[in-house]
A = this chain, B = another copy of it.
Amino acid sequence: MKIGIIGGGSIGLLFAGYLAEYHDVTLYTRTERQASEINQNGVTIDIENTSNTYRVQAVSSKVSVIGEDILFIAVKQYILKDVLSQIKDLEKVQTVCFLQNGMGHLDFMNQLENTNILVSVVEHGALKFNDTTIIHTGIGRTKLAIFKGDFPTFDIPVKEFQIEFQNDWYEMITSKLIANAVINPLTALYGVKNGRLLQNEYFKNQVRTLFREIVSVIPCNEEQMWELVTTICKNTAQNKSSMLRDIEEGRKTEIDAILGYVLAEAKKIEREVAITQFLYDSIKGMERRGG
């Protein structure tokens, strides 16, 4: 099976490495330098105490895609628009799968004419070590759901890289969105690991307040959703959220795809969401705190 992956960040490299063992993978990178390094050295995944290197073909992303069976889009939500507009022959790909967090990619998906469009929730933890190496810090699952069309046949017999098919794309993606919308901004604002949000009584109140505002805007099963949010905080108690890491390292965050989406939905139904707005502005301000 021919698989394309757009984006040489931690998730792009994770997919490229594991998928390359069983499929013919092309990784589209932003820089020529990264493509050339991957062609020379392959993609290395460090997991626990072992290190595996996979042969991956890499090209700089300013070329046409080659009509792959499936193309994974593994770039940050906030550069998605630019990246998609640069890909030539995207319509020749049968199946496109989006790996972004949040809801920022929904608008783009509606414009695509590919046969199958999939959305995902990626539960892996992965840190990029250098242009060819990532550390697989947390083994999770990749959940896929159909936004349009059908599932491709797809076999990946790798224990550390399980793929799970889900029925309801909207439920799958809103569950992740709501969890991200509660946990990410608060941990980034307070500079704490996920577990502290429940261990500190004041922070727990904030989690509740924010959760109530968000579920008043995004329809869901509130009881199950609260259970999910608290379970994630407990299971990832020692982890820093991606938004906290982005803020600590002076990077742009994914706040627009997460709380930005909640604000847009709130506006549609004319509901006031003062805390969501405050947090959105706070994270936007903290992104440029230094200068």
Contacts and interface: CB of A to CB of B under 8 A. Distances in A.
A209 interface: yes
A268 interface: no
Nearest to A286: B190
Interface in A244-291: 274-275, 278, 281-282, 284-286, 288-289
Interface residues of A, number: 22
A89 to B, nearest CB: 40
A289 B205 contact: no
A191 interface: yes
A214 to B, nearest CB: 14
Contact of A278 (B200, B275, B288, B289): B275
B190 A282 contact: yes
Nearest to A285: B202
A255 to B, nearest CB: 11
A192 B289 contact: yes
Nearest to A273: B274
B285 A190 contact: yes
Contacts of A288: 200, 202
Nearest to A205: B281
A63 to B, nearest CB: 38
A206 to B, nearest CB: 6
A161 interface: no
A196 interface: yes
Interface in A178-196: 189-192, 196
Contact of A200 (B189, B202, B275, B289): B289
A182 to B, nearest CB: 14
A203 interface: yes
A263 to B, nearest CB: 13
15 contacts: A190-B282, A190-B286, A190-B289, A191-B191, A191-B289, A200-B285, A200-B289, A202-B281, A202-B285, A203-B281, A205-B281, A206-B281, A274-B274, A275-B278, A278-B278
Considering the complex of A and B, which 5 residue pairs feature the smallest CB-CB distances, nearest first?
A202-B285, A203-B285, A274-B274, A202-B284, A202-B281
Interface of A: 189-192, 196, 200-203, 205-206, 209, 274-275, 278, 281-282, 284-286, 288-289
